[in-house]
Amino acid sequence: MALLEVQGLVKHFVAERSLFGRARAHVKAVDGVSFSVEVGKTLALVGESGCGKSTVSRLVLRLIEPDVGTVRFDGRDLLSLDANALRAFRREAQIIFQDPYASLNPRMTVGQILTEPLALHDLVPPAQRRERVAELLRLVGLEPRLAQRYPHEFSGGQRQRIAIARALAVEPKLIICDEPVSALDVSIRSQILNLLRELQDRLGLAYIFVSHDLAVVKHIANQVAVMNLGQIVETAEADALFAAPRHPYSRALLSAIPLPQPKAKRTAVLLTGEIPSALNPPAGCRFHTRCPFVIERCRTEAPELVADRAGHAAACHRVGELPSADAILPAAGGFSPALAKLVAAFSQKTEGTVVSGVGIQDTAPTTT
């Protein structure tokens, strides 16, 4: 069942005005985006910086207002909600920001940060809020005693755990994860991803996972939507997209993933030319200026996003003519035995502490 349904979402920002205040130029940040998110599932929005994926997430939450389109959440039209109804919706959809160093108020203790949403929405009686804060900290793998500390006393991974706890405080149905691990050390990323997956299994959460890194997306997403210059160019189940990407842009993103096998070989998809500006996107297919398979039709006619019976959709005129994508990611998978052991150790070890679970720690973390 679809928890969130987005249809024809458009957002153009005014880039230049005339002397009399009329808009003379627009940045086409989001241009006709449609997708849905199922209950308990993860949709990943992927693409290069500036493709519009973070803008989409903010439009869904109505942090900014769309120009055109519809957003339905749990059967309700979000764009028609008044102030009181929108405030109630805030309980059901939360966001985890990219930078854990900037998203937490440095003047507030962790306890105050987690108590604030409880007080704003009047969810827990004042006498029980300390107990609820302790429960939230344990849920994300931190000890309750850390509630008295300030954000600067924690490492990046621990701060992101606190940000996750804040999102969970209001018991949401949907969480938007806006590049939640891109600012973290590589050894910590797997811990946060494991935590997010475990929380999803335990609480039945739906995620919109915004990322530029397909290697990260592969480990958490059920469905993937690839964005380029404000439009979705391919969408499919995660396994299907990674096994057989159909759009040249998706293939280029996949070929940029570093391989764990040092001796593995693959066919690289090299893009040439500059990324077009969203202020003046090219006519026809917006990817044609960099596409290695471009034909004249691509320069004049915009392709439609067409799906097959399995729901795998791609916006490309030559989708049935492209060579096989098998060589982009080698079939011989897996790490070497030594590297596999190292990866497993990093995946289960928190910052200075060995844990018994997958992503939720049972013992005290360090504060380095």
Q: What is the pTM of this model?
A: 0.86
In contact, 73 and 92? CB cutoff 8 Å = yes
Q: Which domains, and CATH codes, for the chain? A: 2-221+346-354 (3.40.50.300), 228-314 (no CATH)
113 C-beta neighbours (distance < 10 Å), count = 21
Which alpha helices (H) appear in the chain, and where do they start and end? 53-60, 83-92, 110-120, 129-139, 156-168, 186-203, 214-217, 238-243, 248-255, 296-300, 337-348
pLDDT in tens, the chain (368 residues): 799 999 999 999 998 888 888 888 889 999 999 999 999 999 999 999 889 999 999 999 999 999 999 999 999 999 999 999 999 999 999 999 988 889 999 999 999 999 999 999 999 999 999 999 999 999 999 999 999 999 999 999 999 999 999 999 999 999 999 999 988 888 889 899 999 999 999 999 999 999 998 989 998 999 999 999 999 999 999 999 999 999 999 999 988 887 777 677 777 777 887 788 888 899 999 999 999 899 999 999 999 999 999 999 999 999 988 888 876 765 444 545 655 565 566 555 555 443 333 344 433 444 43
Helix axes 156-168, 186-203, angle to 10 degrees: 20
Tokens of 231: 């439009």
d(C-alpha 247, C-alpha 284), whole Å: 15
